[in-house]
Structure 1
Amino acid sequence: MRSRIRTPGKRRFGKVGLTDVSGKPVFGMDAKGPIGEPAQVEDYLRNLGAKDWGASLGVAVLPRKKKPKRAAANDAEPAAKPPRAAAVPPKPKEKPKPKLREAKPSDARRLAALIHQLGHEISEKQVRKNLGTLKRLGETPLLATLDKAVIGLCGVHRTITLHRDAPLGRITILVVAEEAKGHGVGRLLVEAAEQWCRKKGCRLIEVTSNDRRAEAHAFYRHMGYERTSIRFFKKL
């Protein structure tokens, strides 16, 4: 039995006692209720034996243990969260670079348009026919492409001359689309033509350029070419 007094400091506060099933006082009781200390009742019960002790658990109510006080929410500063790692910005997408390949018959229309930039009037049909002839000679023109679109053309030729001890290489045509100028496409094509001529055994490469194309002349000088002669031609 547990005292019904709930006010600390009063005489029977926290007192406990034992009765039998019928309510008759057994230990720590008087006419008004419990007067025993919890420790005394616990010692009494432990000395009764396991059977009586176990039976008494359903009757005796001992004082509840006090729970430890929880710290107030504002008593301590909350632990600082670790700083988030800075987000790594995505790498900028690389701009596509021009690529080189040999010309194909399906390029004829685009090549005709590029050739027109130089002032030469030629049909798509004739360009396709000339491509077939050049392929049989092993002199297929070189193309520069960007995202599969043709942006530059370079013709190559190898010839044997009587007065030279090695074949002569020649750039027969060089043209870059207007929208692609200034991005190194011309240099890429000329360097590819020079490499082609070296593989063919040439030790000298030449190119002709119309007198009115001052910009082209400056480009060839920048690429290491020298002006050595004047070109003459006659229509037959």
Structure 2
Amino acid sequence: MQSKIKIRKVEKQDLDFVYKSICELENEVLDFEVFKKIFNENIANPMNVYLIAENEKEGAGFISFHTQHLLHHCGLVGEIQEFFIDQKYRGQGVGRLLINEIKNFAEQNNLKSIEVTTNRRRVENVLIYENLGFTLSHNKFTIYKE
């Protein structure tokens, strides 16, 4: 399966696939018009990398990666914001292909680190990220607007 999968930059016509993917990832229906506005802003930002994995006929996965200059790293750092593999493509190396593209980008652009945060309810993701070469090194605390 992996040999048929191609990785490319996300384009405006990928909106529906990305929307469906993020709604599934978050297990909720997001406001499409607000989503579309944010999507278009994010893919136009040169500090962001949005990639889609696809075969000839459909999307298999998606990753979004935002970079920023951070004082405490004294350089450019990237963070994976969303990472989704369609159920029927899981366990086939699609995620590794997407992560490898992010690692290549990070190396080419001299990033200090690649970071990812996963929700505590997604316990299985810790092992997945460790298998992809990430180290569990921080705790993240959040205050939600009620």
TM-score by length of 2: 0.87
Q: How many residues align?
A: 143
2:119 is matched with which residue: 206, 210, 219? 210
CA deviation after TM superposition for structure 1 residue 226, in Å: 0.8
Deviations 1:83-120 (A, max 9, x none): xxxxxxxxxxx985110111122211121111122225
Output the CA distance in 1 between the equivalents of 2:140 and 2:65.
18
Q: In the alignment, which residue of structure 1 is the partner of 2:101? A: 192
Q: In the alignment, which residue of structure 2 is the partner of 1:117? A: 24
Q: Tell whether 2:6 aligns with 1:99.
A: yes
- Name the larger-Rg structure: 1
> Where does structure 2 lack aligned partners over 5 or more consecutive residues?
none
Output the CA distance in 2 between the equivalents of 1:95 and 1:194.
18
Q: In the alignment, which residue of structure 1 is the partner of 2:76? A: 167
Provide the aligned C-alpha RMSD in A: 1.9
Output the CA distance in 2 between the equivalents of 1:113 and 1:95.
22
Q: Tell whether 2:101 aligns with 1:221.
A: no
C-alpha contact 1:100 1:143 (8 A) present in aligned 2: yes
Partner amino acid, structure 1, of 2:121: R
Higher helix share: 2
Q: In the alignment, which residue of structure 2 is the partner of 1:108? A: 15
C-alpha contact 1:142 1:153 (8 A) present in aligned 2: yes
Output the CA distance in 2 between the equivalents of 1:232 and 1:144.
31
Higher strand share: 2
Runs of 4+ in structure 1 displaced over 6 angstroms? none
Change (3 A) 1:234 1:95: closer
CA deviation after TM superposition for structure 1 residue 122, in Å: 2.1
Output the CA distance in 2 between the equivalents of 1:96 and 1:204.
29
SS at match of 2:140: coil
Output the CA distance in 1 between the equivalents of 2:52 and 2:83.
10
C-alpha contact 1:112 1:123 (8 A) present in aligned 2: no
Q: Per chain length, whose mean CA-contact separation is higher, i.e. which structure has more relative contact order (CA < 8 Å, sep 6+)?
A: 2
C-alpha contact 1:108 1:124 (8 A) present in aligned 2: no
> Where does structure 1 lack aligned partners over 5 or more consecutive residues?
1-93
Matches within 5 A, 1:16-165: 97-119=4-26, 120-138=28-46, 139-165=48-74
Partner amino acid, structure 2, of 1:105: K
Change (3 A) 1:148 1:198: farther
C-alpha contact 1:140 1:156 (8 A) present in aligned 2: yes
TM-score by length of 1: 0.56
